Structure 1
Amino acid sequence: MILVVVLILAVHTLAQNETHFIYNGFQGSINKLHVDGIATVLPNGLLQMTNYSIHKTSHAFYPHPVTFRPNRISFSTTFVFAMTPQVPNHSGHGIVFVISPTTNFNDTLPSAYIGLFNPSTDGLLTNHIVAVELDTVQNADVDDIDGNHVGIDINSLKSVDAASAAFYSDEERVNKTLQLNSGKPMQVWIEYGEVDMLLNVTVSPLSYPKPSKYLLSKHLNLSSILLHSMYVGFTSATGLVSNCHYIQGWSWNQNGKAQDLDLSKLPSLPKIKHHIKKKQLIIFVVLLAVLLMFLVMIIAAVWFLWRKKFEELLEPWEKEYAPHRYSFMDLYVATKGFKNSELLGVGGFGKVYKGVLPSINRQVAVKRVSHDSKQGMKEFVAEISSLRKLRHRNLVQLLGYCRRKRELLLVYEYMPNGSLDKFLFDKDGKSNLCWSSRFNIIKGVASALLYLHEEWEQVVLHRDVKASNVLLDADMNARLGDFGLARLYDHNNDPRTTNVVGTIGYIAPEVSRTQKPTTSSDVFAFGMFLLEVGCGRRPSGKQSDNDAEDFFLSDWAYDCWKRGEILMVSDPTLEGNYQEKEMELILKLGLLCLHPKAAERPTMRHAVMFLDGSATLPDIPSEYDPESGIYFGEVWGNSGSYPSSSGTASLTFMSSSNSVLQRGC
């Protein structure tokens, strides 16, 4: 009976001893530690985890398992370590404090895996490993924050929490950086309580007391990770470059604070000797030189290909326009390499892409235009720079340009709602515009054209007014785009042989003959635009699959007006939900602007006055003048007059049976 009691007391005493231990140096402890790899205890009691061997691992564990009670896990440990690099400013890998269910690490790897895992085991939930790493190499594969950090690892080298090595100085009340591989001894405290479930990590130089603030504090439920029986200890490893890693002392306790180490009893560190054999140094220098030459060749090849890819035309005369010029690289990045996914549309002069300029984080639209000649390019760029000064609420802002090879790139502000024609003509389920929105858009475009024709410092001809060139901002306000650019594209050509620029159906009859655009030809296109918006139809073409012949919107509108049924041409999708007087005003003004004689068309100032109600739109008479010789598909042609800024007047017209609009456009 006495023997049984003695055995129970002995077992109980052994269990108590295994809940805490302390090593003030490891003198005589080589048989009291489980070590493998290149780990060894030096004669003075210093535990050397690694030497200057490369690609090696080491492990040192307390030989007996510690027991954790379920949901009652707590522990406290502290140890003193030092890392001495073989080559100054070049570090091997670090030291890891580990709580593990096993001491068998035969399948682990050195270098980035620090003797703890391999590629197939890193991250497995079955590892049941809790670790605190002191890492001196940044490994991108595991998202290391830098090459000098402390991290908390759960089953993986991807830390659940990490911080650059530092300690809080209570005297100076600031955080101070620590260099883990400085060769100087440092102390680590790791603590976990069963109540608050916080894993706290503190580091400081050996000459400092324990700081009052933790470096890391992470809330973790270790009951779901740690098993009943676990081992505690250290792992370490070297890579292509190595460190000597040392543990000078270690204390552990599961029932309260770990016992303080007696710093006076800790074994001293070897003197730091950065030694590289001459042969190794020669090999290192040669390899480094070869590597540098290889890198230089790669960089030169990349630089050459980069120059070819992003090469731009930049001539001395362009220096004065530098503030208006964007680099091709910026535009390439902004549009994601001009991907089709960023394509906004394709027009007569090129493709348009959306993008975000990285330098200013601004959305833009980039138009790519081909040009085959340098003739007139200086004047072209000068005019672009001039047009950048245009400022009007109903104009799309031209921001600048870029020239590259046989290409010109124009940069505009981005309009999120796209072009008006998609709302008028697309049958893909896009919602139709209500009448009030259409009327506001018409007034906005008229205001923009008045600004271009009369209110800016120069006269700017648009030459391509149509629904597809009217863009809508975030508030569905009209912004006239591509202003002035149709005219600019003609710098390459002799004025006497300039091709007619514009879109079929919008080109004034006189332009086909004289090839000289004017503000009146812009008014003509504006008239067709008014019919587009009011009728919801394109100027010409088959309006449905059942139509046998081409349809001409202007002829139909005139015929309906002549029969006194002008509202018959209104857009059927509106279903009569419009102001009849406003609709009649828009349709009749459209016919007035489409007068085949340029001199008889209203100016944009008159058009704005009619739209604002500050002048009364005259009636369209139907008399026919057989001597005029002007035809407009049974439309009109005669002289008349328009109101001044404060009055009204009347017009006279004539009709005919032929169509110059059809023949001339």
Structure 2
Amino acid sequence: MEIGCLPSSPLRYVFCIFLLSSFIIQGQCRPIMLFNPSHTSFSFPNFNVKPSSEITLLGDAEVIADGESSVRICGSSPRTAGRLMYGRPVRLLQPLGPRSSVSFSSYFSFSMSSGNGDGLAFVILPRGNPLDGQWFGLSSAKGSVSRIPNLFAVEFDSAQNKEVMDINANHVGIDIESLISSKTADVSEIKLILNDGTQLHAWIDYDARSKVLEVRLSKSGLIKPSAPLISHSVDLSGLWKDEMYVGISSSSGDSSQNNVVYSWSFTSSPFHRPQHSHPVNPQAFSQNGRSSFHRRANDILDIFVALLFGTGCGAMAAALTMFLVWSLFTRRFGSTSTEFTAHPVDFGYEKISVTGGNDGFDNNIK
């Protein structure tokens, strides 16, 4: 039978090549995951929402109707603290391979009234971290210089505390498991004052591949500074637990300093995205949506690459299928034309031998 020739014919190799190509292309497409559990993205251009699973307000924090629906984290009275937290855990470890951190970025706008309050801090914390009344609400007075496990914070400090080696009362610092900053910068160098009531804009970017953390600060939310206020080389992979929580924490200290957050966005991704100096315009966020600009850009790129690979897979499958059909067609009809040829064939009688029984035949079907 003609089909019986397939296993021993060259078509077998074509079929094997087709399967191998399919597995290779599938392996190339596998990292493109449009819905990845390690990808977190949210945006609050304002807080005109009731506290829900997306927002958690702790301590003194409350939504205030000031025309912009902002969140006052603290300031109702001295010695108070509050937190604005994203209500769902985020995963900051790569889902596959050796233990390593993902990249993340956060933007928020805020203001601080005058006074010697503690200021506020962008924080990443494990579950169960207590809210205390001092040191950005992160620690009690007695524990200010002790280790705080799994703490990551970028502090915007408007008070100078010698106990934690603050450089002045107008600085930004990076805190890793301690309130003693591992890296600080004087905000006065960029001609800004944290606690003069001006609305400021902060960008925090961590590139997991280069292990560089950058902090930027500006009066304008439309222009992201090209030069960071702080650039710090640090490996954060050993800091994260499987689930962490992101938020903004504040304490008023000995004054009734009002610390207000107007907008906030955050995104993380296991895929490396090269950093650039183009600004993220907070006014470009949809008033009704919860997806940030970064997430939309990443998803569009992922969809484009997925379509590109899908087109390649389809083209290769179509080409191999056409070749397979053509090969079967030519083999079958070419054989038929030879079998029923009209030309006589002369046999040499001297070459014909007659055998009897089953001698010379193999009864086993191979």
Residue in structure 2 matched with residue 114 of structure 1 by the alignment:
136
Q: Residue 147 of structure 1: CA displacement?
A: 0.4
Q: Distance in 2 between matches of 1:118 and 1:266?
A: 39
Q: Distance in 1 between matches of 2:205 and 2:162?
A: 28
Q: Distance in 2 between matches of 1:42 and 1:266?
A: 21
Residue in structure 1 matched with residue 116 of structure 2 by the alignment:
91
Residue in structure 2 matched with residue 654 of structure 1 by the alignment:
none
Q: Residue 29 of structure 1: CA displacement?
A: 4.2
User: 1:159 pairs with 159, 170, 181, which one?
Assistant: 181
Task: Report 1:15-414 matches (<5 A).
Answer: 15=37, 19-31=40-52, 32-43=54-65, 44-69=68-93, 70-85=99-114, 90-102=115-127, 104-106=129-131, 108-110=132-134, 113-119=135-141, 121-125=143-147, 127-166=149-188, 176-206=190-220, 209-255=223-269, 256=273, 260-263=280-283
Task: Report 1:395-544 matches (<5 A).
Answer: none
Q: Residue 263 of structure 1: CA displacement?
A: 2.9
Secondary structure class of the residue paired with 1:200 = strand
Matched AA of 1:92: G
Matched AA of 1:37: G
Residue in structure 2 matched with residue 442 of structure 1 by the alignment:
none
* Higher normalized helix content (fraction of residues): 1
Aligned length: 240
Distance 1:20 1:266, change over 3 A: closer
Q: Distance in 2 between matches of 1:124 and 1:73?
A: 27
Contact 2:215 2:228 in 1 (8 A): yes
| Cα deviations by residue, 1:74-121 (Å, 9 ceiling, x for unpaired) | 111111111112xxxx33220010000125424x232xx221112454
Q: Distance in 1 between matches of 2:36 and 2:236?
A: 25
Contact 2:224 2:280 in 1 (8 A): no
Matched AA of 1:30: P
Q: Residue 35 of structure 1: CA displacement?
A: 1.1
Matched AA of 1:45: S
Contact 2:105 2:203 in 1 (8 A): yes
Matched AA of 1:262: P
Q: Residue 50 of structure 1: CA displacement?
A: 1.4
Contact 2:221 2:282 in 1 (8 A): no
Residue in structure 2 matched with residue 543 of structure 1 by the alignment:
none
Q: Distance in 2 between matches of 1:261 and 1:33?
A: 22
Report the identity percentage: 30
Matched AA of 2:183: D
Q: Distance in 2 between matches of 1:234 and 1:162?
A: 18
| Cα deviations by residue, 1:482-522 (Å, 9 ceiling, x for unpaired) | xxxxxxxxxxxxxxxxxxxxxxxxxxxxxxxxxxxxxxxxx
Work out which of the two has the higher radius of gyration on C-alpha atoms and give 1 or 2: 1
Q: Residue 48 of structure 1: CA displacement?
A: 0.9
| Cα deviations by residue, 1:380-401 (Å, 9 ceiling, x for unpaired) | xxxxxxxxxxxxxxxxxxxxxx
| Cα deviations by residue, 1:245-269 (Å, 9 ceiling, x for unpaired) | 11111111112579934337899xx
Matched AA of 1:190: I
Q: Structure 1 residues 137-146 or 219-228, which shifts more?
A: 219-228
Contact 2:223 2:279 in 1 (8 A): no
Q: Distance in 1 between matches of 2:279 and 2:222?
A: 17
Contact 1:123 1:155 in 2 (8 A): no
Q: Distance in 2 between matches of 1:72 and 1:115?
A: 26
Q: Distance in 2 between matches of 1:151 and 1:64?
A: 26
Contact 2:103 2:268 in 1 (8 A): yes
Distance 1:124 1:222, change over 3 A: farther
Q: Residue 176 of structure 1: CA displacement?
A: 2.8
Matched AA of 2:263: G
Q: Distance in 1 between matches of 2:248 and 2:77?
A: 18
Matched AA of 1:28: V
| Cα deviations by residue, 1:280-320 (Å, 9 ceiling, x for unpaired) | xxxxxxxxxxxxxxxxxxxxxxxxxxxxxxxxxxxxxxxxx
Distance 1:118 1:210, change over 3 A: same
Secondary structure class of the residue paired with 1:141 = helix
Distance 1:233 1:259, change over 3 A: farther
5+ long unaligned stretches in structure 1: 1-11, 167-174, 268-665
Matched AA of 1:50: C
Contact 1:251 1:261 in 2 (8 A): no
| Cα deviations by residue, 1:49-69 (Å, 9 ceiling, x for unpaired) | 112411101011100010022
Contact 2:173 2:181 in 1 (8 A): yes
Matched AA of 2:71: L
Secondary structure class of the residue paired with 2:190 = strand
Contact 1:93 1:242 in 2 (8 A): no
After TM superposition, the score normalised by the length of structure 2 is 0.60
Q: Distance in 2 between matches of 1:121 and 1:114?
A: 13
Matched AA of 1:193: D
Q: Residue 186 of structure 1: CA displacement?
A: 0.7
Q: Distance in 2 between matches of 1:253 and 1:119?
A: 33
Distance 1:128 1:120, change over 3 A: farther
Distance 1:248 1:126, change over 3 A: closer
After TM superposition, the score normalised by the length of structure 1 is 0.34
Q: Residue 244 of structure 1: CA displacement?
A: 0.8
Structure with greater contact order relative to length (CA < 8 Å, sep ≥ 6): 2
RMSD: 2.6
Contact 1:84 1:181 in 2 (8 A): yes
5+ long unaligned stretches in structure 2: 1-33, 94-98, 288-366
Q: Distance in 1 between matches of 2:36 and 2:182?
A: 35
Distance 1:64 1:265, change over 3 A: closer
Q: Residue 229 of structure 1: CA displacement?
A: 1.0
Residue in structure 2 matched with residue 634 of structure 1 by the alignment:
none
Contact 1:76 1:191 in 2 (8 A): yes
Secondary structure class of the residue paired with 2:37 = helix
Distance 1:22 1:83, change over 3 A: same
